[in-house]
Amino acid sequence: MEALILEDESAPSGVPQKWGDIDWRRIERNVRVMQIRIAKATQEGDWRRVKALQRSLTRSFSAKASAVRRVTMNQGARTAGVDRVKWEAPEVRWEAIGRLKRRGYRPLPLRRVYIPKANGKKRPLGIPTMLDRAMQALYLLALEPVSEGTSDPNSYGFRINRSTHDAMRQLFASLALKASAQWVLEADIKGCFDHISHDWLERNVPMDKAILRKWLRAGVVFEGQFQATDAGTPQGGIISPTLANVALNGLEQQLTAALKAKLGAHNLRRHKVNVVRYADDFVITGNTPEVLENEVKPWVEQFLAVRGLTLSTEKTRIVNIAEGFDFLGWNFRKYSGKLLIKPSKKNAQAFYRKVKGVISAKKGGKQEDLIRLLNPMLRGWAQYHSPVVAKAMFTRMERMVFQALWRWAKRRHRGKNAEWVRKRYFVTIGNRNWVFGTTTVDKRGTPFWLELYPLAGTPIRRHTKVKGEYNPFDPVWEMYGEKLRQERMLQSMSHRKQWIKLYMSQRGLCALCQCKMTKETGWDDHHIVPRVLGGSDALGNRVLVHPGCHVQVHHHGRTVVKPVFDLFDSLC
């Protein structure tokens, strides 16, 4: 394994001369090898070796190239920092790799923007420059293997192959049985990202302290005014979620150990204390409200105070499961002893307001454009709630969206009667009435039918929770992680049956760079022979590629062929 790193760093023939020459599969392998070694040293508690391996990784060409690629391939690449610089051209990206150096590095202040929250308030975001984003991505490569190896088993926010659905399934396992805990401490940390103690982070985060200190104290610029940052890690930075996770790691394991020492192992089991956390939101179950109020909550407050954090008095409460509570957009409640998880009313109302806003903004737009705007929203919301008891909510939401579209259609033709409007915008397909759709044409001029995504037709699929002890950087878990990643990718593409076939035939790898395609990287459907040159839509003429690779094919002369995998590739 070390030979790969040495070849990449020391052999002149192995060093590419421009961005388009980089062998991304080799880059990915080199980074992966070093991360595995860091994870192993973490498991062994050899922190001196961890530090040495992290330093080696952050100085390597492979890690620097990978960091630049990450920040230039995601959606944030279109948003500039205070210097208004974007890395769009391949030449600029190639030059950027050489700029990722520790010596002389000074981050610029973050550009402060505010985005609206569901409760009407605004969430502050800090947008770093492209250089600072790339430096954060570089050091994140070295920090993630350590944070994953030291994380709580039931922490699910901003971690590889973990999601809100995993947290939901763990809560179901903790609350569903008749003998399960009946009380819940629903907790929320007040301004977690804004108030984490800088001193605590500098003392406890296992990474380069000098670089971390510079990021934390870089400050922000809002409306032309510089503001110093004395606490917190800015929302919007690539490494910020991992820093917050590191700060909260131990909440579950240390709480369990403290209660076990105070109450005894038998009483701990009797009290049924379980912790489920997603980022800074967490839920703690208990058999009685007294143990949550008198034992658990004071300990949590002390745990957070050391890190400069406090619980939000508005959002923190102790409730009975029969009363129910909201968590991650769902409502958890027992009805006559049976636990049902449904989309929360607050989540549904916020989503409907968003849909209604899009419809209102397109009063004079084409029906086709409106459908294209609404479909990703409807499909994404429905798929998010598809693992829970959501059929009734899907039906209700579909009816509400129909009513909004009916008002939209009638407003456009005030002089026409209802029957004329119905025939103009709605059709009957089989046993489905009032289908909002229209006939349009693709880029080649071929007509096809375009209709609104049917919410009520979304199938309910139960989610399989990731194992708590899973570590994506431990080779022992490699096969499990690959299977888990493919299952979840296929679920996310369940509305694209042809994409599933392409994904499986390519073994989840980009047809151009041969690196993994994930939800984070995204994917594009590329025609090998362009349709404008007579290429067909047959699967034999199509491949899946990363969005960034797609740009290289179309604008930088790269060629892509149907991949053929051999035994060696599958083993690697």
For 145-171, the pLDDT digits (tens) are 999 999 999 999 999 989 999 999 999
Q: Please, which residues bridge with residue 440 across strands? A: 448
Please give the Cα distance from 116 to 31 (Å, whole number).
37
* 75 shares a domain with 211: yes
Please give the Cα distance from 75 to 197 (Å, whole number).
30
Residue 191 lies in a domain: no
Please give the Cα distance from 88 to 199 (Å, whole number).
37
Query: For position 275, what pLDDT does the model report?
Result: 96
* 220 shares a domain with 109: yes
Q: How many domains does the chain have?
A: 3
Largest Cα separation within the chain, whole Å, is 78
Q: How far is CA 214 from the centre of its chain?
A: 26
* 428 shares a domain with 517: no
Chain mean pLDDT for the chain: 88
Q: Please, which residues bridge with residue 277 across strands? A: 155, 282
* 452 shares a domain with 380: yes
pTM for the structure as a whole: 0.84
* 413 shares a domain with 354: yes
pLDDT digit string, tens, across residues 75-127? 778 888 899 999 989 999 999 999 999 999 999 999 988 887 766 677 788 89
Backbone torsions φ then ψ of 124, nearest 5 degrees: -80, 135
Name every residue whose Cβ is closer than 8 Å to that of residue 334 and which is 6 or more positions away in sequence.
175, 321, 322, 324, 340
Please give the Cα distance from 155 to 168 (Å, whole number).
11
Please give the Cα distance from 316 to 311 (Å, whole number).
7
Q: Where are the alpha helices (DSSP H) in 205-239?
A: 209-216
pLDDT digit string, tens, across residues 31-66? 999 999 999 999 999 999 999 999 999 999 999 999
Taking residues 384-399, what's their average pLDDT? 96
What residue numbers bound the domain in which 494 lies? 475-556
For tokens 């421009």, the residue is 18
Of the chain, the percentage scoring pLDDT greater than 90 comes to 63
Please give the Cα distance from 32 to 19 (Å, whole number).
20
Query: For position 467, what pLDDT does the model report?
Result: 93
* 97 shares a domain with 41: yes
Backbone torsions φ then ψ of 540, nearest 5 degrees: -65, -15
Reported as type and span, the H/E element at residue 275 is strand 274-278
* 499 shares a domain with 450: no
Residue 153 · residue 255 · CB < 8 Å: no
Reported as type and span, the H/E element at residue 448 is strand 447-451
Reported as type and span, the H/E element at residue 339 is strand 338-343
Taking residues 127-134, what's their average pLDDT? 95
Residue 108 lies in a domain: yes
SS3 119: coil
CATH of the domain at 518: 1.10.30.50
Residue 39 lies in a domain: yes
Residue 524 lies in a domain: yes
